[in-house]
Structures are given as C-alpha cells and as structure tokens.
Amino acid sequence: NGLQEVSLIINETGYLPARLIVRKNIPVRLYLTSSSPSTSCFILDDFKVQKGVATQTVEVIDLVPTKAGEYRFYCPVKGIHGSLVVRD
C-alpha cells in the first residue's frame, strides 16, 4: 500500500508500454523518458497532466487514481496514444 512506480518510454511511433495498469487509491509515480529526437508530450486529461519530455531526460509525474477505469493519454503532436488502467 505504498507507492506504485511505472516507467514509460516515448518514441516516434508510440508509448512503451502503451497500456499501464495500476491499483486504485495507491499513489503512482510515473517516470517518462523520450528516445525521440524532438521533444515529446504526455497528456492525461482526466488527471490534469500535461508534460513535455525532452530527449534523454526523465520527467516525473505523481498522481493518485481514486476511481477505477481506463484513462487515455496521448501526444497530439506525434499522433500517439495509450491508456492508464486503474483497477480496484
């Protein structure tokens, strides 16, 4: 019941992994890194997250999912998307 830590890589063709699974009511720390030559983005509207991710850097996002469901994240510039699945 401590902290869920998840890593996500962004490249030109998508997010790796494209589907993240976490538990409800347990804090999540998400580590984002980009292997793309240009700055990438990570937008998760349901959690009010908008983050730019420069090449070869690590950005950290902390959130607490309080409701089970599937939430879409995306980067409109690159046309890529994935999902955050929150389970009970």
pLDDT at 58: 95
Q: What angle do CA 76, 20, 47 make, to 5 degrees?
A: 60
pLDDT digits (tens, 9 = 90+) for 5-54: 999 999 999 999 999 999 999 999 999 999 988 899 999 999 999 999 99
Is the pLDDT at 56 greater than 90, yes or no? no
Q: Identify the residue with better confidence: 38 or 4.
A: 4
Reported confidence tier of residue 1, pLDDT bands at 50, 70, 90: low
How far is 13 from 22, CA to CA, in rounded Å?
Answer: 24
pLDDT at 40: 93
